[in-house]
Amino acid sequence: MKKKLLYITDQFRNSNHSSIEAIFDGYLKEYFDITLLYFDKTTDTQKQTENRIYFPYKRRKEISKKTDLQRYDIIIVRNRFDILKQLLFLKRDFKLGFQLSFPHSFRRYYQAKMEKKALFRKKIEYEIKDYMEKKYIKRCDFFLPISSTMYKLFYYDLKVPCFTLPLGIDPKSILKKERRDDEKIRFVYTGSIDRLREFDVVLKAFCKVKRDDFTLDIFTPHFEYAKSLMDELPNEMKSKIRLSKSLPRDELLKKLPSFDVGIFLIPESLLYAVSSPTKVMEYYQCQIPSLMSKIPECLELFADEEEGWICDFDENEIEKKVKKILTLTKEEIAKMGIKGEEVLSQKRNYKTISKEFYSFIGKIWMSI
């Protein structure tokens, strides 16, 4: 009989997150009887449809009282330390794990350092939160950081069984690159744009490429801030660099195969060194090679000018890489995208990750 696993997401109803859908609502169903809990801002009533619980967000402090947690053998909490704290204070028979996808507490301190605002206060706040969060993780049965770099930089001193649960691709969802007859190379950037990501560096680099054989399309939820950066562009670049609001993931994946090169360029800082970049995985799922920053995940998976391009986060270096890409044919670029997809299908296959995760849980709970 399969063990019952409850996965408490930090996502809201109707969200579509690649690793949650592929792993916890996908391949792990072979090994566990899985229920997923999402939050809902539109209701006061807890509802369940098939294997999904929709819990009222305004009542999240009551989750340990209003949910029958003792019916599960394993519970995993994603990112929500407030929910983890509730579960830790229960008398429990289930195994409890915590998944962390990004060092959100450190981000606030890092932002204060970058902006030189309230630095002392933010430093104290971070140190207190970091101490408490680690205290909670230490009481878990297992810990799931998103990357080995996150573990090495922030959580190396925890004596808790650890399994790195990174982002990857679903072999059942590979989208073939579309063939197009036009000569322009189409670059695309998807995702967040904020001050910490310094996207103005990327825009300035593209503006220095004085050619007419490329376009850059940007899809971001931070439309107004991105627009303020776009307003600073020279007029001749405004027809080449186009800004759009973010799309639902399914719609975005339908559009991506029409592009040639994906952009993942962020500062090589301690904050981003720990990430497992969603957008890179989405690009290669559509067989689009990526122009990437030198963060550990990218360096570990890809070789420069083999499956994509790896670049210093520097205006002049980005300009050189873009110009290098523009010397290639569409066929040469497309082959790199296929090679990158093959690398991820081998190294970051959600089906394989799920099987390895099941083996890890088996060691935590030998009766599985």
Q: What is the mean pLDDT of the chain?
A: 90
pLDDT band at 122 (very low <50, low <70, confident <90, very high): confident
Instruction: Select, from the ranges 169-173, 231-235, 237-241, 243-247, the one with the highest average predicted confidence (pLDDT).
Output: 243-247
Domains 3-168+349-364 and 171-347 share a fold: yes
Report the C-alpha gap between 145 and 164 in whole angstroms.
Answer: 5
Task: Please give the structure tokens belonging to residue 360.
Answer: 């890890």
The CATH number of 171-347, from 1.10.1740.10, 3.40.50.2000, 3.40.50.1110, 3.30.420.310, is: 3.40.50.2000
Task: Please give the structure tokens belonging to residue 123.
Answer: 């430093």
User: What pLDDT score does 366 carry?
Assistant: 66
Quick: pLDDT tens for 162-201. 999 999 999 888 887 777 767 799 999 998 898 888 999 9
Domain limits of the chain? 3-168+349-364, 171-347
330-347 vs 278-285: helix axis angle to the nearest 10? 120
Is 90 exceeded by the pLDDT of residue 31? yes
3-class DSSP state of 5: strand
Quick: pLDDT tens for 265-317. 999 877 777 777 889 999 999 999 999 999 999 999 999 999 999 999 999 99
Is 60 exceeded by the pLDDT of residue 368? no
Is 70 exceeded by the pLDDT of residue 155? yes
Q: Which residue has the higher pLDDT, 338 or 274?
A: 338
Strands (E), the chain: 3-12, 32-40, 47-49, 52-56, 74-78, 95-100, 142-145, 185-190, 214-220, 241-245, 261-264, 290-293, 309-311
Task: Please give the structure tokens belonging to residue 205.
Answer: 């680099």
Spatial CA neighbour of 103 closest among 122, 70, 83, 130: 130
Task: Please give the structure tokens belonging to residue 178.
Answer: 């579309």
Q: What average pLDDT score do residues 188-216 get?
A: 91
Instruction: Express as a percent the part of the chain with pLDDT over 70.
Output: 98
Helices (H), 147-236: 148-154, 199-207, 223-230
Fold entry, domain 3-168+349-364: Rossmann fold (3.40.50)
Edge-to-edge strand ranges of the sheet holding 142-145: 47-49, 52-56, 32-40, 3-12, 74-78, 95-100, 142-145
Instruction: Express as a percent the part of the chain with pLDDT over 90.
Output: 59
